[in-house]
């Protein structure tokens, strides 16, 4: 079954999509994200669709990054509480996994405007970051704790904020529970 891209001219409508609750502040550690990794905040063409083949690429990238990246906290790796960076040879933490997946998917031709980093509270209500892929059927989540790609609603996470689909250099509050 093909999964087609959601409209990118504003937030998609329907309960399968995370909805903006207004502009928000960038998460701690993400303030220099766009200047360090311009691709992480790139705007896409807003055209085209995500085909079944594209979703196979999304699945493969999710599995590959999860398999090849070792989990390590920023405090251990950098000696600071929070730093958003591409995983090093030592590994990375949750937002580093999300960045690695976003970079790999952009490199494979997926529209960057469909790839949005989001911050959440996980099932234990700890801060966590994931990559959201926007499809016409809803927002799905790529997570470093599972190879399964799920609807945001099926994660049982509390979504706090994510990159603005219209301007990924900005963040929006979403405040929604899955």
Taking only the tens place, the pLDDT of each residue in 48-102 is 678 889 999 999 999 999 999 999 999 999 999 999 999 999 999 999 999 999 9
**Percent of the chain whose pLDDT exceeds 70:** 90
94, 128 in Cβ contact below 8 A? yes
| Residue 60 CA to its chain's centroid (Å) | 15
Beta strands 115-121 and 23-24 are unpaired
| Whole-prediction pTM | 0.90
What's the pLDDT at 13? 58
Q: Which of these, 108, 79, 103, 83, lies nearest to 93 by C-alpha position? A: 83
Give me the residues paired with residue 143 across strands: 146
Would you say residue 158 has pLDDT above 90?
Answer: yes
How far separated are the first and last CA of the chain, in Å rounded?
24
Cα separation of 55 and 126, whole Å?
Answer: 29
* Average pLDDT score, the chain: 89
What's the pLDDT at 160? 96
C-alpha pair distances (Å), 20 with each of 71, 96, 132: 30, 24, 14
Collapsing DSSP to helix, strand or coil, 176 comes out as strand
- For 105-138, write each residue's pLDDT tens digit: 999 999 999 999 999 999 999 999 999 999 988 9
What's the pLDDT at 176? 72
pLDDT band at 175, cuts 50/70/90?
Answer: confident
């Amino acid at each position: 079954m093909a999964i087609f891209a959601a409209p990118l001219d504003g937030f998609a409508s329907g309960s399968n999509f995370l909805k903006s609750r207004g502009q928000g502040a960038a998460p701690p550690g993400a303030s220099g994200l766009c200047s360090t990794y311009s691709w992480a905040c790139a705007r896409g063409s807003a055209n085209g669709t995500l085909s079944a083949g594209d979703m196979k690429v999304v699945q493969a990238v999710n599995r590959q990054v999860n398999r090849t990246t070792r989990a390590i906290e920023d405090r251990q790796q950098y000696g600071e509480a929070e730093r958003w960076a591409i995983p090093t040879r030592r590994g990375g933490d949750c937002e580093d996994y999300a960045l690695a997946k976003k970079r790999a998917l952009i490199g494979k031709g997926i529209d960057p405007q469909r790839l949005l980093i989001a911050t959440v509270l996980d099932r234990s209500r700890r801060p966590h970051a994931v990559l959201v892929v926007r499809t016409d059927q809803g927002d799905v989540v790529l997570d470093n704790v599972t190879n399964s790609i799920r609807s945001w609603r099926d994660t049982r996470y509390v979504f706090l904020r994510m990159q603005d689909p219209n301007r990924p250099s900005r963040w929006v509050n979403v405040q929604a529970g899955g």
